[in-house]
Structure 1
């Protein structure tokens, strides 16, 4: 059966619930988990904005590092004491679905366990959810958690 689950999370309540359910499944299957958090890319300067990007970029990097730590700490609080072997991976991209698929491949995951939706909001409705894109393009089985 499944021995290595990839669990992408964005820190939302629904994705935190997916982490909880993935841990339960991993314990049942004696599987390990890789938790993935995909950070947004730092916006690129346009035209005359280049001179203001230094301080903005530094603050952006501090904020994304803090967000990554918060997401991983939240996942660790669920996984701690479960006996499940877990690895934490972060990446930077404006296309999280692509990173999810490539991480599943590079980490040799045999199941992606992800929430039905995350923090997409209105933008997610307009461009399509990350979960939908993973389902449409991935060759690895995907278990969608609600």
Structure 2
């Protein structure tokens, strides 16, 4: 049914568990995976008139963030390859991770987004927000949500 999964990951234990489950799901379905990581741009507090910073601060920040994202994606890719699942990886710089997830799914022509959720409810879910909830409400692509016990 599903042939190409987008699996967002941030390297957290919850996200790593979702990666593992997505690989099992893809293997059973004969699907391929594109692993995805959203990279946050430099914090806005560094912008503006009168800010004092090294001329290389933004480039260094971006290089560090992209490097960390690539380490996360490389680990997921290795795990999938060991399981015999065809995969790729991609990342985007975005202030809104949920928008980047949807954009990556569309760009890579994925027919399912497989992602983790903390399962927060009530006030904590409302106050903390949820990238998963935002993806669910802003995309027409099916989303499979993995919740940890």
| Same structural fold, with TM-score higher than 0.5 when normalized by the shorter chain | yes
Gaps of 5+ in 2: 119-124
> Would the aligned equivalents of 1:16 and 1:74 in 2 still touch at CA under 8 Å?
no
Instruction: Tell me the secondary structure at the aligned position of residue 50 of structure 2.
Output: helix
Question: For residue 14 of structure 2, what is the aligned residue in structure 1?
Answer: 14
CA distance in 1, matches of 2:126, 2:103: 24
Residues 14-44 of structure 1: CA distance to partner in whole angstroms, max 9, x if unpaired?
1111110000000001000000101001234
Give the Å deviation of 1:100: 0.9
Question: For residue 49 of structure 2, what is the aligned residue in structure 1?
Answer: 47
Question: For residue 64 of structure 1, what is the aligned residue in structure 2?
Answer: 65
What are the equivalent positions in structure 2 for 1:80-99 lying under 5 Å apart? 80-99=81-100
Q: What is the count of residue pairs matched by the alignment?
A: 141
Instruction: Tell me the secondary structure at the aligned position of residue 95 of structure 2.
Output: coil
C-alpha distance 63-39 of structure 1, shift in aligned 2 (>3 A): same
Gaps of 5+ in 1: 118-123
CA distance in 1, matches of 2:116, 2:130: 11
Give the Å deviation of 1:137: 1.0
- For the aligned residue pairs, the C-alpha RMSD in angstroms reads 2.0
> Would the aligned equivalents of 2:35 and 2:77 in 1 still touch at CA under 8 Å?
no
**What's the TM-score once normalised by structure 1's chain length?**
0.87
**What's the TM-score once normalised by structure 2's chain length?**
0.86
